[in-house]
């Protein structure tokens, strides 16, 4: 049987505190509960320190031989947005379960004067194709250049949709070729 909702179902439970009240949330999102990839965006802050920002609202697409990432919800007051505009680039770092705790620690290690990758027990390396650090322990790193942005809600500059173009990619042998399935299961299983 299929149910139709136009308002929050009484029985719906929060998946996390603030799920129905936070600015980036909606009960419709909780009902649909569509899995999204989880990754850390890394870049250099203006003071030369590493920035790291967890992202989950994103999609990937390809056209005419190019590969794109669209970040669907970027807080424009955050360090990630600022560094992206300053440097014009970043790296998307995908992680397996064994380093997920450290990746989540980047959220707490969010001060401007902190090397956020190093402070979270991870290893920062310079990316080859863009001017940004990457997380060495990630099984997949996508080097990206900033393309364009748009207000998510017209008239509200606090949240942006940001498009990136991939210019380079690193992938661990264990996660390429025939083992693709394993990678997808890890991503989907995390949500």
Q: Which of 12, 23, 31, 107 is in the footprint of ligand FMN by CB under 6 A?
A: 107
For ligand FMN, the nearest residue by Cβ is 78
Q: Which stretch binds ligand FMN (CB under 6 A): 4-12, 69-77, 142-150, 170-178?
A: 69-77
CB of 142 closer than 8 Å to CB of 69: yes
**Does 73 engage in binding with ligand FMN (CB under 6 A)?**
yes
CA-to-CA separations, 73 to 31, 56, 103, 136, 160, in angstroms, rounded: 19, 9, 19, 26, 6
Residues comprising the chain, all counted: 191
Beta carbons of 119 and 157 less than 8 angstroms apart? no
- Cα distance between the two ends of the chain: 25
Residue 142 binds ligand FMN (CB under 6 A): no
Beta strands 58-63 and 66-75, pairing class: antiparallel
Of residues 56, 118, 129, 131, which one binds ligand FMN by CB under 6 A? 56
At closest approach, how far in Å is the CB of 25 from ligand FMN?
11
User: In angstroms, how far is CA 43 from the centroid of its own chain?
Assistant: 12
Instruction: Return the closest-CA partner of residue 80 out of 29, 45, 30.
Output: 45
Residue 101: exposed, middle, or buried by beta-carbon count in 10 A (0-12, 13-18, 19+)?
A: exposed
- The reply on whether position 78 binds ligand FMN by CB under 6 A is yes
- Under rule CB under 6 A, how many of the chain's residues touch ligand FMN? 15
Kindly tell me which residue out of 54, 147, 161, 171 binds ligand FMN, with binding defined by CB under 6 A.
Answer: 54
- Interacting stretch for ligand FMN, rule CB under 6 A, among 53-61, 133-141, 164-172, 174-182? 53-61
110 belongs to the binding site for ligand FMN (CB under 6 A): yes
Binding pattern for the stretch 143-172 against ligand FMN, x by CB under 6 A and - elsewhere: ------------------------------
Binding residues vs ligand FMN (CB under 6 A): 38, 51, 53-57, 73-75, 78-80, 107, 110
């Amino acid at each position: 049987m299929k149910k139709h909702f136009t308002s929050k179902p009484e029985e719906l439970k929060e998946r996390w505190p603030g799920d129905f009240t936070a600015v980036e949330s909606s009960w419709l999102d909780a009902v649909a509960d569509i899995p999204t990839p989880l990754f850390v965006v890394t870049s250099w802050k203006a003071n030369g320190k590493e920035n790291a920002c967890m992202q989950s609202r994103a999609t990937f697409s390809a056209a005419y031989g190019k590969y794109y990432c669209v970040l669907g919800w970027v807080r424009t007051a955050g360090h990630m947005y600022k560094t992206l505009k300053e440097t014009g680039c970043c790296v998307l770092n995908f992680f397996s379960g064994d380093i997920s705790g450290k990746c989540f620690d980047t959220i707490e290690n969010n001060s401007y004067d902190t090397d956020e990758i190093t402070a979270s027990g991870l290893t920062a390396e310079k990316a080859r194709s863009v001017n940004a650090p990457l997380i060495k322990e990630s099984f997949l790193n996508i080097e990206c250049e900033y393309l364009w942005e748009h207000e998510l809600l017209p008239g509200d500059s606090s949240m942006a949709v940001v498009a990136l173009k991939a210019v380079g990619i690193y992938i661990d042998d264990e996660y390429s070729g025939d083992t693709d399935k394993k990678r997808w299961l890890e991503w989907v299983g995390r949500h």
